Structure 1
């Protein structure tokens, strides 16, 4: 099956450059000149990864990234001319998987694309495999080697959410919305408590993965290299 990559950029020269390198690598390229056009393409075509420019007319890259994260389970790379930290923070808050600053080396972008596609292929709908650790969403069970664990429901859901997209940064607010729902009346410290329990639970059992605190943003899960 061919991998379809969506390029969203209002600069035709950037689209042409990316199309040249991606087609050379046998990717199928789909193009949009702005966020609104990209939204329509996402509805009508199967897309496996999106490369999204931040500064675009009609709908900017941050808004498009938030929309993709809400409705589609595909990796997103934000492309921007801005390298300032606040822009990167805004990109990660909108749910991007990676961030590339213009001007960029096409080979580096290809490396990041392949890494993201590999990471997403590790995760099927219900079974998440991280080396010797398997998270089974069908029966709410975590296996490490031959050991099986049944976690409290919220801990399991939190671990599965983080592991479903390794290296993606989640804010505490996003995790509360995903796990506890929009009606939850507690505060973000609930997430911190559950993260602490998960770390303590698996600290001496496996080093297949690690839950990392991203200062000022939230958490992400990193998988040890295979």
Structure 2
């Protein structure tokens, strides 16, 4: 079955560019001119990824992302007219998976979309466990003390990488490359945002040491106790 992406942008030209590039790459598309319409489509259809513009009337991309994250962990790729790190950090804190700055290359956009979708594909990995933490990559399930934790595709990839190699200390660059691939332009603050999100979500179920910082080196998996 083809993956379906939801293109959310108030500029019909941008929607046309994204739709043509996505359909040429074998993806199905749905379109919305603002954040409110996007939420309607997400309620009615099975959407595999959202391409979401930040600067929109009625409901901007950040507010739309907040609302989406209250009901879904669908991957979100932001389109932004400003290549500002503060926007990226805020977006990642809200649960975004990636950013593409306007003007953008349609080919690069499609590659990023496919990379995000690829992170969520089922794999034949064994269930990973440490302390109260359990992750099933094949079913994209994360549990803490039996409670299911809602992680985005990027958060799941990051945490499962640490869980697969619990003794290894990763610096920020290694984690960024493992998630987004080499030759990206993201900074260490991107990973910090994902780590904060993971810690907060897991802490809701009593685990406060899921990721520990090795000062001056990087981060590694914690004891995952309660």
CA contact (8 A) 1:93 1:171 kept: no
CA distances 1:118-153 after superposition (whole Å, capped 9, x unpaired):
101147xxxx83xxx63269x96579xxxxxxxx94
Q: Structure 1 CA distance, aligned partners of 2:96 and 2:155? A: 16
Q: Structure 1 CA distance, aligned partners of 2:197 and 2:95? A: 12
User: 1:180 pairs with 199, 203, 209, which one?
Assistant: 203
CA contact (8 A) 1:49 1:75 kept: yes
Question: What number of residue pairs does the alignment pair up?
Answer: 177
Q: Structure 2 CA distance, aligned partners of 1:165 and 1:64? A: 23
Question: Is structure 2 residue 25 aligned with structure 1 residue 32?
Answer: no
Question: Is structure 2 residue 98 aligned with structure 1 residue 98?
Answer: yes
Q: Structure 2 CA distance, aligned partners of 1:68 and 1:25? A: 26
Q: Structure 2 CA distance, aligned partners of 1:10 and 1:66? A: 18
CA contact (8 A) 1:63 1:94 kept: no
Q: Structure 2 CA distance, aligned partners of 1:28 and 1:142? A: 30
The DSSP-based 3-state class of the residue aligned with 2:21 is helix
CA distances 1:140-194 after superposition (whole Å, capped 9, x unpaired):
6579xxxxxxxx949x988x88862444743536632x22339x8xxxxx84x44
Give unmatched runs, 5+ long, in structure 2. 137-143, 159-178, 180-190, 222-226
Q: Structure 2 CA distance, aligned partners of 1:72 and 1:91? A: 16
1:17–1:142 Cα change, 3 Å = closer
CA contact (8 A) 2:212 2:219 kept: no
Give unmatched runs, 5+ long, in structure 1. 144-151, 185-189, 200-209, 214-226
- TM normalised by structure 2 equals 0.65
Question: Is structure 2 residue 128 aligned with structure 1 residue 135?
Answer: yes
User: 2:211 pairs with 181, 195, 198, which one?
Assistant: 195
CA contact (8 A) 1:157 1:179 kept: no
Q: Structure 1 CA distance, aligned partners of 2:17 and 2:204? A: 42
CA contact (8 A) 2:5 2:51 kept: yes
1:36–1:157 Cα change, 3 Å = closer
1:141–1:34 Cα change, 3 Å = closer
1:92–1:142 Cα change, 3 Å = closer
- Which of 114-123 and 25-34 deviates more? 114-123
CA contact (8 A) 2:34 2:57 kept: yes
The DSSP-based 3-state class of the residue aligned with 1:170 is helix
The DSSP-based 3-state class of the residue aligned with 2:212 is helix
CA RMSD in angstroms, aligned pairs only? 3.8
CA contact (8 A) 1:54 1:79 kept: yes
